[in-house]
Amino acid sequence: MPAVELLRGGCVVCRSRGPALCAPCLRRTEPPPSTRMRDLGRVHALFAYEGHGARIVQALKYRDGRRLVAPLADELARRWAEVAPAAPGLAVTWVPTSGGRRRDRGFDQSELLARALARRLGASARPLLRRRPGPAQTGLDRAGREAAAGYLATARTGGPVLLLDDVCTTGATLRAASAALAGAGSPPIGHLVLARTP
Ligand SMILES: [Zn+2]
41 CA → ligand 1 middle, Å: 32
Mean pLDDT of 54-75: 89
Lowest mean pLDDT among 41-45, 98-102, 133-137, 186-190: 133-137
User: Is 60:72 a contact under the CB 8 Å cutoff?
Assistant: yes
25 CA → ligand 1 middle, Å: 4
Between residues 99 and 175, the one the model is more confident about? 175
8 CA → ligand 1 middle, Å: 14
110 CA → ligand 1 middle, Å: 21
User: Is 154:130 a contact under the CB 8 Å cutoff?
Assistant: yes
User: Is 161:91 a contact under the CB 8 Å cutoff?
Assistant: yes
56 CA → ligand 1 middle, Å: 9
| β 41-48/36-37 pair status | antiparallel
109 CA → ligand 1 middle, Å: 19
Domain architecture of the chain: domains with CATH:
3-196 (3.40.50)
74 CA → ligand 1 middle, Å: 16
By the 10 Å C-beta count (0-12 exposed, 13-18 middle, 19+ buried), 155 is classed as middle
154 CA → ligand 1 middle, Å: 38
Residues 5-28 have pLDDT tens digits of 444 678 988 889 989 999 999 999
158 CA → ligand 1 middle, Å: 41
Q: Give all strands (DSSP E) within the chain, no chain letters.
A: 36-37, 41-48, 91-94, 124-125, 129-131, 151-153, 161-168, 188-196
Give the pLDDT confidence score for residue 4 in this predicted structure. 45
Residues with CB under 5 A from ligand 1 (ion): 11, 13-14, 22, 25
Q: Phi-psi category of 185—alpha, beta or left, where left has phi over 0 and alpha has psi -120 to 50?
A: left
72 CA → ligand 1 middle, Å: 13
Lowest mean pLDDT among 34-38, 48-52, 75-79, 121-125: 34-38
pTM, 2 dp: 0.86
3-class state of residue 69 by DSSP: helix
Lowest mean pLDDT among 67-76, 127-136, 137-146: 137-146
In the beta sheet, which residues pair with residue 124?
A: 91
7 CA → ligand 1 middle, Å: 17
The pLDDT-based confidence of 189 (bands split at 50, 70, 90) is very high
Mean pLDDT of 80-98: 91
CB within 8 Å of 92: residues ≥ 6 apart = 114, 115, 117, 118, 121, 123, 124, 125, 126, 161, 162, 164
Give the pLDDT confidence score for residue 78 in this predicted structure. 96
Closest CA to 187 of 83, 79, 40: 40
